[in-house]
Structure 1
């Protein structure tokens, strides 16, 4: 038994790395919008197309990814996901070497392929870490470690992109090649390590119920359907708040580099929020947590929209010091930016709260509900596109009406929509 645990140390590290890569690649898409706007003269709507491609992949691969996992197992699914991720980032890298007339299209294709990888990774890393940990408290602990590393990489990515593109008048895709080199290197390392190690596979699922019947049964539950809509909206909020904060500050006197620092601080606050949420999760109900965070989020967004940008404050951000090291520093930003950054504390725990409320009482249909949820992650691509169109028409701060209305729905779901009207026997 002791040697088995030692043998699993390496794949556990690889899974935690992949947990981080999900955030690294996903959160690369939004700050890349700044590059797309500079290099191709893209609108705010077009600048979010790369992000949209990343999330549209979830709509296409969400349920097929679950079927693939059931059919070929954890290890093969993980290997396929890593290989697809390498190809996706590789195509994005190639977009910096092709002609200007097709570079934008090539980048979008790469973002879509990378999105397929992120869908498969999201399908496999949570249960695989749980299995490698032997389930129970140890498995849950590993998942929490992976989730924390995910938040660390989400914090790092926009700040790193901000440093790379600097304050150049016209940022180019080639400016962010170092980010892509890191992604390619990690994907390559993980692929070859996983090929050489033995991974325990979970027991095969009971096949007494078909996929069609399972999906049909799950969709009989009103609180699940409303919860699936809530997940669609939540992911769009999570991406849209820092994404357009980055766009807005990059086009302001604050500048692109500092904008990346500020957007990264949003993700850092999500890390803090997740750690706090994990510590109080056993004492505070999901309904209360979602209600409180939705309400506070509404207040913060409304205050950000109607405050004057002329009022500036200094906020602590993770930044690169003059000596080249990464440290905390102060950034002078409009008060609106500070309020938007604080929304990260609210969005941090929403996913778990929505999921728990939506699958309550589903019994044997819980697995089907998970597949539905993974598909609805596509909201992270569609909602920011809508916000981008509003920003093109009305401006950056008015575009947060999209976020305000979305948080209003999440508050509705917490208070009313999550009520369980019937339960399924497990």
Structure 2
């Protein structure tokens, strides 16, 4: 990969930051939809969390096709394609309101998940290899600020059109047809943007084996690389706890009969932005990526335990504090797992993206526990997730082929 000037890197990060914002918005609509569909389609809490399942199951089913497409057409064209798929998903959601079909609504979210898979694969790999590997977490943290502000902003924007106190499924049409049109325009704009095609060190190699100078011997398959597939499991738990904290807090506030429950996602978002800012200022000058991951997992374990034992009216603000704990999980796990993959970088990124299915599985378990017991007890599902992430930080991320 040719050396890029600092000015160019900043320009490219601004462009990619806009992509992160769109990705955050498309995921953020789920947090608002969970309490909305409970009323619109008369669903139980656990059933409403199928919204997460519909969205994130696409990350597994489309991960391999995403890798193939990414390798064939490159990063920029993949980003453009993802926006046209996003437009299709938003259109299906709007159309589902006309038939009042929960199944079509879920299918629209699944199509959004396909677009999110390709976009996540493209932009996270792009940002990771855009500069020094040691500062990858810093760059992803900067992108994460745009992502999470847009994620929370989705609830704010949808609240202008959808009233949780007076739910009407027909109100979906105007905002989502409009958003679909905007997605098409953004896709076209990206196609004509100055965003260059880049590659990781060794990615363009014709060799079918990994670089012996990196690993001490040669490997011919990404599944022979422990820190990668253990990283995919870490992504599973990372996204699971992140989506639980962001996606459940509005629903939790509604269950506690708090005023304006649709705004509580902002508390978690502000927690994540604070954590991102810490990452930007401390990594890699004062903290390594691995140390940042250790600190965040320990904070997550302690915060979750406290959530389980305090009064509910206090615990909801501790759910927001989980945003701080979750902030540096993705920015550290992704580059640690993707490091030293050479020509396997695109395939490795797709393996990691498959781990995002955790955003479907863990929230569904959370919803089941919330129905069976209560929301506060349901947050216990986060503890084993943080424990595995601590293992990955201390041991799993250091494992290399022998």
| TM-score, structure 1 normalization | 0.80
What do you get for the CA RMSD once the two structures are aligned?
Answer: 3.4
State the 1:223 CA deviation: 3.4
Against the structure 1 CA distance between its residues 145 and 350, is the aligned structure 2 distance closer, same or farther, given a 3 Å change threshold? closer
In 1, the alpha carbon distance for the partners of 2:126 and 2:378 equals 39
The aligned residue for residue 149 of structure 2 is 152
Q: Which has the higher contact order (CA 8 A, sep 6+)?
A: 2
Q: Deviations over 1:204-250 (max 9, x none)?
A: 83343299xx9963222333332221110110100012322221211
For residues 357-384 of structure 1, give each alpha carbon's deviation from its aligned partner in whole angstroms, at most 9, with x where no partner exists. Answer: 4345655544432221011111111111
1:14, 1:190 within 8 Å by CA — same for their partners in 2? Answer: no
* TM-score with structure 2 setting the length: 0.84
**Equivalent in the alignment of 2:349:** 370
Q: 1:142 to 1:185 in 2, by over 3 A?
A: farther
Distance 2:296 2:234 in 1: 14
Selected match of 1:358 from 333, 337, 350: 337
Matched, 1:394 2:394: no
Partners in 1 of 2:277 and 2:379 — Cα distance?
27
Q: What pairs with 1:121-140 in structure 2 (closer than 5 Å)?
A: 121-126=119-124
Which stretches in structure 2 are left out of the alignment for 5+ residues?
A: 1-5, 211-217
Identify the residue that residue 407 of structure 1 maps to in structure 2: 386
State the shift of 1:30 in Å.
2.8
Question: Higher strand fraction: Structure 1 or Structure 2?
Answer: 1
Instruction: State how far apart, in whole Å, the 2-side matches of 1:219 and 1:358 are.
Output: 12
User: Which residue number in structure 1 is paired with residue 214 of structure 2?
Assistant: none
Matches within 5 A, 1:224-239: 224-239=228-243
Alpha-carbon offset, residue 416 of structure 1: 3.5
Aligned equivalents of 1:280, 1:370: Cα separation in 2: 25
Unaligned runs of 5+ residues in structure 1 are 310-333
Map 1:29-44; keep pairs closer than 5 Å: 29-44=30-45
Give distance in 2, aligned partners of 1:144 and 1:286: 11
Return the match for 1:289 from 279, 288, 292. 292
| d(CA) in 2 for partners of 1:12, 1:364 | 23
- Work out whether 1:385 is the aligned partner of 2:373: no
Q: Quote the residue 1:348 is aligned against.
A: 327
Contact 1:74-1:128 at 8 Å conserved across structures? yes
CA distance in 2, matches of 1:129, 1:222: 23
CA positional deviation for 1:16:
3.5
Q: Deviations over 1:327-386 (max 9, x none)?
A: xxxxxxx11111110110110001122234434565554443222101111111111111
CA distance in 2, matches of 1:137, 1:361: 12
Query: For the residues of structure 1 that align with 2:137 and 2:395, how far apart are their CA atoms?
Result: 30
Measured in 1, the distance between the counterparts of 2:74 and 2:302 equals 45
Distance 1:76 1:93 in 2: 26
SS of the aligned residue for 1:378 comes to: helix
Q: Check conservation: 1:11, 1:193, Cα contact below 8 A.
A: no
The answer on whether the counterparts of 1:165 and 1:176 sit within 8 Å (CA) in structure 2 is yes
For 1:208 and 1:164, how far apart are their aligned partners in 2? 54
In structure 2, relative to structure 1, the CA distance for the partners of 1:220 and 1:7 (3 Å cut) is closer
Between the two proteins, the alignment pairs up a number of residues equal to 387
